[in-house]
Amino acid sequence: MRSSAAAEFLRKAAEKAADVAHRQTIRRNISSYDLSVGRGKLRFSDWEEARRRCAEIKWEAINHLDKYLLEFEQKVQARGGHVFWASNAEEARQYIEDLVTSRGVKLVVKAKSMVTEEIHLASALERRGVEVLETDLGEFIVQLRKEPPYHIVTPAMHLSRADISRLFREKLEGVTSDEPEELVAAARRALRKAFFAADVGITGANFLVADAGMIALTTNEGNARLCTALPRIHVAVAGIEKVIPRLADLALLWPTLATAGTGQHLTTYNTLIGGPRQPGEQDGPEEFHVILLDNGRTELLADPEQRDVLHCIRCGACLNACPVYRTVGGHTYATTYPGPIGSVLTPHLRGLEGWQHLSYASSLCGNCTSVCPVRIDLHHHLLHNRRNAVEKTRHGWLENVSFRAWRWTMMSSARFGFAGRVGRFAVRFVNKLGLSGTIIDPMRTWTRHRSLPEVPRESFRQLWRKRHGQR
C-alpha cells in the first residue's frame, strides 16, 4: 500500500528533478564539497584504515552501550551536571519545557543540532512563549524562511547567495549586496546581542565521551561556543548512540568527521564540556543538563543486522554522494534525516508502514557505503528495509496475486516459455500502436519516462535450438 508520505515524495521528487535552478545550486555546492574532501583525504596516509578504526570505535561503544552511558552519566553528575534519560521525543521536550518554565526563561540561543529537529524542540518552546534563535548561519537562514534544514551539515545548501540576500534585506538591517562577507556580518550583528541576553543555550552533541564524562561539540562558526559560555543554563540533547569510550578516540574521530563532513582536516572549534561552571572557574553556565534520547534507537539496537546504523556520526557524506539526494533534494524526503542514512533510519524512527518507500529512493549504486567514514553498509540496509517491509507490512491483493502468479510461471520451463511468447507479442503490439507510456499502458510508471526496446520475434531458447539443434 502506498502511504500518503510516499505519494507526496513522488510528487515532490518529480517537481525538484525538473527544477534546473535547484540542480545548479546543488551541483555548485556539492562540486565544491567534493573538491575539498578530495584534498582533505590527502592529509591521511591511509583513509581506509581510518574508516576501519572509526568503525571499530563505534562498534565497541554501541555494543556496550549501557556500560558507556552509565560511565558518562556518573562523571557528568560528579561535576554537578544533570542527566535525564528520555524514552521518546515527548519526554525530552517535556523536561526542557519544564526547565524553561520553572526558570522563567525568555530567550534561548540554539546551536545546530539534528536531534532537536527530530524532537521538534524549537516549536514546542515557542508555544510556551519562549523566543528561540538558531545561531548557526545555515540554520538561522532556514529559520527565517520557516523551513526545516535541507541538509544535516549544510542546512541552507539549496539557496543561492541571491536568495539569501533577498531574505536578509527583508528581515535584517544593513544588507545592500549579495556578497557572502556582508551577509555573514549581518547575521553576526543580528545574533550578537542574543548570545549575551539569552538565559539558555541549547546544543546537540557530536560525541558523548564516556571516560571523561564530557560532551564534544564540533563547530566552525563559534556559535556553539558562545551558546555554552554565556547563558546561565546549558542544555545538551543527544541520541544515546552518540557515546564513545575514550577521550583519546577523538584524535581520530575529529579529523575523520571533519574530512567527511566538509573536507577540512579539523573543524575550527572542537569543544569538550563536562559540567556547569566549577568552583574557581570564571565563567560558564550555572546549570548543565544532558538529555539522553532513545526515541526508537533501542529498537534499532535490538536488530543485530542493522545495529551498525547507530554508528552514524552525522557527517552528511552519504547525502552528498547520493545521486537520488542530488536530484530530488533534501526537503523532498520530508524527514529529519534525509539522504541514504535518513532512508535507512526513518522507517525505524517513524514506522516501516508509512516510510518504507524511502528504501526505494536509491539506485543501490553503493556510493553512500563507500564514502561512509564509519563504514555503515547503507545500501544493503536499504535492501534489508525492503525485505522487512515485505515481511511486516500489509500488501494489496493485486501485489500478492501478481507475485504468486510470477512464482508459478517461473517454476516450470513450459510456463516460462509460454509467458515469454505472450510478453513478446504484447510489447510488439503496444509499441506498434504507440500505446507505450499512455494512460492505458499498465506499465506506465516505467514507460512514461522510458521507451520499450524493440523485441525480437524469437526467444533465446528458440534461437539456440535453431543454431545448435535440439539438446
User: Which of 5, 115, 124, 226 lies at the binding interface for other proteins (CB under 8 A)?
Assistant: 226
Nearer to other proteins, 5 or 371 (CB): 371
Residues 6 or more apart whose Cβ sits within 8 Å of residue 442: none
In angstroms, give the least distance from the CB of 7 to other proteins. Answer: 32
In angstroms, give the least distance from the CB of 448 to other proteins. Answer: 35
User: Which of 155, 340, 342, 373 lies at the binding interface for other proteins (CB under 8 A)?
Assistant: 155
DSSP 285-322: -SEEEEEEE-TTHHHHHT-TTTGGGGG-----HHHHH-
Binding mask of the shown chain, residues 427 to 466, with x at each position contacting other proteins by CB under 8 A: ----------------------------------------
User: Which of 144, 250, 328, 345 lies at the binding interface for other proteins (CB under 8 A)?
Assistant: 250
Residue 198 exposed, middle or buried by CB count within 10 Å (0-12, 13-18, 19+): buried
Identity of residue 352: L
CA distance readout (Å), 82 to 112, 144, 240, 290: 21, 32, 15, 6
User: Which of 22, 110, 242, 277 lies at the binding interface for other proteins (CB under 8 A)?
Assistant: 277
CA-CA-CA-CA torsion sign (140, 37, 217, 345)? positive
User: Which of 13, 172, 272, 334 lies at the binding interface for other proteins (CB under 8 A)?
Assistant: 272
Residue 24 in contact with other proteins, rule: CB under 8 A: no
Residue 212 in contact with other proteins, rule: CB under 8 A: yes
Count of residues engaged in binding other proteins, rule: CB under 8 A = 113
Residue 230 in contact with other proteins, rule: CB under 8 A: yes
Binding mask of the shown chain, residues 135 to 154, with x at each position contacting other proteins by CB under 8 A: xxxx--x------------x
Residues 6 or more apart whose Cβ sits within 8 Å of residue 336: 114, 117, 118, 148, 342, 346, 349
Q: Are 118 and 152 in contact (CB under 8 A)?
A: no
Residue 65 in contact with other proteins, rule: CB under 8 A: yes
Task: Please count the residues of the chain.
Answer: 471
Nearer to other proteins, 9 or 288 (CB): 288
* Calpha distance 127→69 (Å, rounded): 32
- Strands 214-219 and 269-273, by their bridges, are antiparallel
Of residues 302-321, which lie at the interface with other proteins (CB under 8 A)? 302-304, 307-308
Residue 269 in contact with other proteins, rule: CB under 8 A: yes
User: Which of 2, 11, 27, 28 lies at the binding interface for other proteins (CB under 8 A)?
Assistant: 28
